[in-house]
C-alpha cells in the first residue's frame, strides 16, 4: 500500500466521510507525505501536506517532553510534588493538593477531574489563571490508585514549566522543541497558524462553529502542526535530539483499566501498547471536529502521523494504521472489541446507574427485557458543543461492554472495575468515572 498511499488515502477519507486528511510517515530512512480532500468545506481550500491541523492531545507528549528536559537538567524530579514548584496549587482534596507529583500528572494517575475546560481568556496569563480556577476541582478517584485521563493535569504541568522558566508555555515549547528540531510548521496561536494553510474541524459534514479550544488548555492540547513536523518530533524520541534518555518516557507507570481503547499502559506522556510483539508508543488528539494520531515503533524506527478534520475520524485513523503498519512493518493493530456473534448472557443490572465526573455524565439504564442503553452527556462549558448521545450497551463478557454512538465508525469499549473502597467505576474513553447513584 505504501507506494499507492496517495490514492488509498483519498479512498479512505471518502469511506469514512473525512473532509480532509494528511499523512506523514518515516520508514527505513525516508519521509513520505500525503494529503487528500479539503481543509474546510466552506472555503474549499485543498488539503496539502504543509497544512496545519490541530493535533490536540498529542500536545501532551510535547509538554511531557519539556518537563523531562527540566528533569534531565536537575530542576525537579518526577516525584517532586506539584505544590513544591507551585505553592499556590490547590484542588478540592487536601491529600491530592499536598501529594500530587509531576509523575501523577504525566501518567494521568492524580485522579483530579481532568475535563475542566475553563476559559481564562486569550492573554498570556491564561494558564496561571486556569490553575487558580481549579481550587475546587474534585477527584475522579483517590490519588494514585488507578488511571483516568486528565487534561487539567497537563495544564498544571504547563504552569510548572512557566514557573521554572519564567516564560509562556508557548515559548517554552518553541525554544525547547520547535527550534532545536527546526520545525517550521508547528504553532500554538491562531495568529501564527494563519500564515499557513490551516484545517477547520467538521461535524456531520459541516464546519464546526468555532475554530479552536480556549487558550487556557494549551499545554494539554493546542499545538497546530503539519504531520511531517509531528513525525520529526516522534523520531526525536528515538534519538538524543531532545532528551538524553527519551526511553525513560516509555517506562510503564500504570495499567489502563480498559486496555481495549488506546493501549495497555501509560508511560510519561506516552500511551504504551504492544503490536505483534513490538512496543508501540503513541498518542492521539481530538479537538473541535479535528483528530490526529501519532504512533512510534522503536524497534523498527517507523513513525506515523495522520490527521483528519471530521467524519468518522477515529475509525479512519485506525484503518490507516491497520493497513500501513501491516505493509510497512508486518504489524497487526489489535482490533477493537465488537459485539459477540452469539449474544452472551451477562446480567446488566449490577452495572446500571449514573456515573459522573466533571464535564461528563454517563447514564446506564436497563429496560424491562434486560437490554441496556447508555446515555452520554457533556456538562459544564463544553455542554453546548456536544449533543447528548445514546446507544445500545452490549455485553461482551463480565465487566466488558461495547457500544457505538450514532455517527461513530468504531465500537467503543467500557470496562467495569471496583476500587478497594468498593466504589464501582466505569472506564471508558480513557477515563475512570465513579458510579454516583
Partner 1 sequence: MDLRDRLAEAARGHGVPGAAVAVWHDGELHEAATGVLNTVTGVEATTDSVFQVGSTTKVWTAALVMQLVADGLVKLDKPVGTYLPDFAFGGVTVRQLLSHTAGFDGDVFEDTGRGDDCLEKFLGHLGTAGRVHEPGELFSYCNAGYCVLGALVARLRGGTWEQAVRERLLDPLGATQAALFGEEAALFRVSAGHIGPDATVYPRWQMPRSNGPAGATMCLAPRELVAFGRTLAAGGLAPNGKRLLPEESVAAMLTPQVHVPGGGGALAERWGLGVELFGWGAYGHDGGTPGQSTYWRIVPEADFVLAMSGNGGSFAGLIADVARPVIEEATGLTVPGPPLPPQVLEPVDGAPYAGSYQGPQLGYEVAAAEDGLDVTLIPGPLMESMGATRSTTRYARLDGESFIAVEAEDGRHDVVTFVLRDGRAAYLHNGRAVARV
Task: State the binding string over 210-249 for partner 1 (x if CB under 8 A, else -).
Answer: xxx--x----------------------------------
Beta carbons of 148 and 432 less than 8 angstroms apart: yes
CB of 45 to partner 1, least distance (A): 5
**Residue 57 bears catalytic tag:** yes
Select the residue interacting with partner 1 from 35, 58, 66, 200 (CB under 8 A): 200
167 binds partner 1 (CB under 8 A): no
193 binds partner 1 (CB under 8 A): yes
Select the residue interacting with partner 1 from 76, 198, 231, 414 (CB under 8 A): 198
Using the 8-state DSSP alphabet, how is residue 177 labeled? Answer: I
CB of 373 to partner 1, least distance (A): 36
Select the residue interacting with partner 1 from 133, 167, 192, 408 (CB under 8 A): 192
DSSP 115-156: -------SSTTHHHHHHHTTTT--BSSSTTSS----HHHHHH
417 binds partner 1 (CB under 8 A): no
Task: State the binding string over 93-132 for partner 1 (x if CB under 8 A, else -).
Answer: ----------------------------xxxxxx------
CB of 190 to partner 1, least distance (A): 3
194 binds partner 1 (CB under 8 A): yes
Is 226 strand, coil or helix?
Answer: coil
Using the 8-state DSSP alphabet, how is residue 434 labeled? Answer: E
Cell numbers 513536523: residue: 229
Select the residue interacting with partner 1 from 69, 207, 286, 302 (CB under 8 A): 207
In terms of CB distance, is 103 or 215 closer to partner 1? 215
In terms of CB distance, is 196 or 417 closer to partner 1? 196
Phi, psi of 150 (to 5 degrees): -135, 95
CB of 192 to partner 1, least distance (A): 7
In terms of CB distance, is 27 or 197 closer to partner 1? 197
Q: In the chain, what's the furthest Cα-to-Cα distance? A: 62
Sign of the CA dihedral running 311, 314, 320, 323: negative
CA distance 393 to 366: 9
Is 86 strand, coil or helix?
Answer: coil
206 binds partner 1 (CB under 8 A): no
Is 193 strand, coil or helix?
Answer: helix
Q: Would you mind telling me the total number of residues written for the chain in this entry?
A: 437
Q: Interacting stretch for partner 1, rule CB under 8 A, among 16-24, 37-45, 102-110, 279-287? A: 37-45
Q: Interacting stretch for partner 1, rule CB under 8 A, among 13-21, 140-148, 191-199, 418-426? A: 191-199
138 binds partner 1 (CB under 8 A): no
Nine-digit cell string for 203: 461535524
Select the residue interacting with partner 1 from 104, 108, 197, 431 (CB under 8 A): 197
Nearest one of 202, 114, 99 to 144, comparing CA atoms:
99
CB of 122 to partner 1, least distance (A): 4
Beta carbons of 146 and 109 less than 8 angstroms apart: yes
Nine-digit cell string for 397: 463478557
Cell numbers 502521523: residue: 305
Applying the rule CB under 8 A, the residues between 38 and 77 that interact with partner 1 are 40, 42-43, 45, 48, 50
Sign of the CA dihedral running 114, 117, 120, 125: positive
Beta carbons of 407 and 204 less than 8 angstroms apart: yes
In terms of CB distance, is 45 or 352 closer to partner 1? 45
| From 21, 57, 110, 216, the catalytic residue | 57
Q: Interacting stretch for partner 1, rule CB under 8 A, among 7-15, 204-212, 295-303, 354-362? A: 204-212
CA distance 243 to 5: 32
Strand partners, 401: 395, 414
Select the residue interacting with partner 1 from 95, 98, 135, 195 (CB under 8 A): 195
Phi, psi of 434 (to 5 degrees): -75, 150
Please give the helix or strand (H or E) that residue 23 lies within, else none. Answer: strand 20-27
- Residue ranges that bind partner 1, judged by CB under 8 A: 40, 42-43, 45, 48, 50, 121-126, 189-198, 200, 207, 210-212, 215
Q: List residues with catalytic annotation.
A: 57
Amino acid at each position: 500500500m505504501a507506494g499507492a498511499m496517495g490514492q488509498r488515502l483519498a479512498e479512505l477519507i471518502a469511506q469514512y466521510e473525512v473532509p480532509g486528511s494528511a499523512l506523514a510517515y518515516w520508514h527505513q530512512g525516508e519521509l513520505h507525505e500525503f494529503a487528500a480532500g479539503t481543509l474546510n468545506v466552506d472555503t474549499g481550500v485543498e488539503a496539502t501536506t504543509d497544512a496545519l491541523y490541530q493535533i490536540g492531545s498529542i500536545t501532551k507528549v510535547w509538554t511531557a517532553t519539556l518537563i523531562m528536559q527540566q528533569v534531565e537538567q536537575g530542576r525537579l524530579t518526577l516525584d517532586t510534588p506539584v505544590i513544591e514548584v507551585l505553592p499556590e496549587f490547590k484542588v478540592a482534596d487536601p491529600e491530592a493538593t499536598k501529594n500530587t507529583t509531576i509523575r501523577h500528572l504525566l501518567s494521568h494517575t492524580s485522579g483530579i477531574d481532568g475535563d475542566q475546560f475553563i476559559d481564562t481568556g486569550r492573554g498570556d496569563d491564561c494558564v496561571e489563571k486556569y490553575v487558580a480556577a481549579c481550587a475546587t476541582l474534585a477527584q475522579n478517584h483517590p490519588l494514585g490508585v488507578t488511571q483516568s485521563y486528565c487534561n487539567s493535569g497537563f495544564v498544571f504541568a504547563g504552569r510548572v514549566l512557566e514557573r521554572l522558566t519564567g516564560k509562556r508555555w508557548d515559548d517554552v515549547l518553541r525554544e525547547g522543541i520547535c527550534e532545536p528540531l527546526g520545525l517550521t510548521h508547528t504553532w500554538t496561536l491562531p495568529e501564527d497558524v494563519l500564515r499557513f494553510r490551516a484545517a477547520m474541524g467538521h461535524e456531520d459534514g459541516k464546519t464546526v462553529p468555532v475554530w479552536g479550544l480556549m487558550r487556557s488548555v494549551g499545554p494539554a492540547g493546542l499545538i497546530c502542526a503539519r504531520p511531517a513536523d509531528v513525525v520529526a518530533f516522534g523520531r526525536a524520541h528515538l534519538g538524543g535530539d531532545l532528551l538524553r534518555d527519551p526511553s525513560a518516557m516509555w517506562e510503564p507507570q500504570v495499567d489502563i483499566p480498559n486496555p481495549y481503547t488506546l493501549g495497555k499502559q501509560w508511560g510519561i506522556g506516552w500511551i504504551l501498547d504492544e503490536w505483534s510483539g513490538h512496543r508501540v508508543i503513541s498518542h492521539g488528539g481530538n479537538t473541535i471536529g479535528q483528530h490526529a494520531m501519532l504512533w512510534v515503533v522503536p524497534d523498527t524506527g517507523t513513525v506515523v502521523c495522520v490527521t483528519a478534520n471530521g467524519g468518522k475520524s477515529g475509525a479512519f485513523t485506525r484503518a490507516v494504521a491497520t493497513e500501513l503498519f501491516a505493509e510497512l512493518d508486518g504489524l497487526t493493530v489489535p482490533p477493537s472489541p465488537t459485539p459477540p456473534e452469539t449474544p452472551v448472557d451477562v446480567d446488566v443490572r449490577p452495572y446500571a446507574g449514573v456515573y459522573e465526573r466533571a464535564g461528563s455524565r454517563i447514564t446506564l439504564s436497563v429496560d424491562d427485557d434486560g437490554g441496556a442503553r447508555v446515555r452520554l452527556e457533556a456538562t459544564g462549558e463544553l455542554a453546548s458543543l456536544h449533543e447528548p448521545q445514546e446507544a445500545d450497551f452490549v455485553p461482551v463478557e463480565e465487566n466488558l461492554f461495547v457500544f457505538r454512538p450514532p455517527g461513530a465508525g468504531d465500537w467503543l469499549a467500557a470496562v467495569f472495575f471496583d476500587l478497594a473502597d468498593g466504589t464501582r467505576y466505569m472506564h471508558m474513553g480513557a477515563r475512570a468515572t465513579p458510579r454516583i447513584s
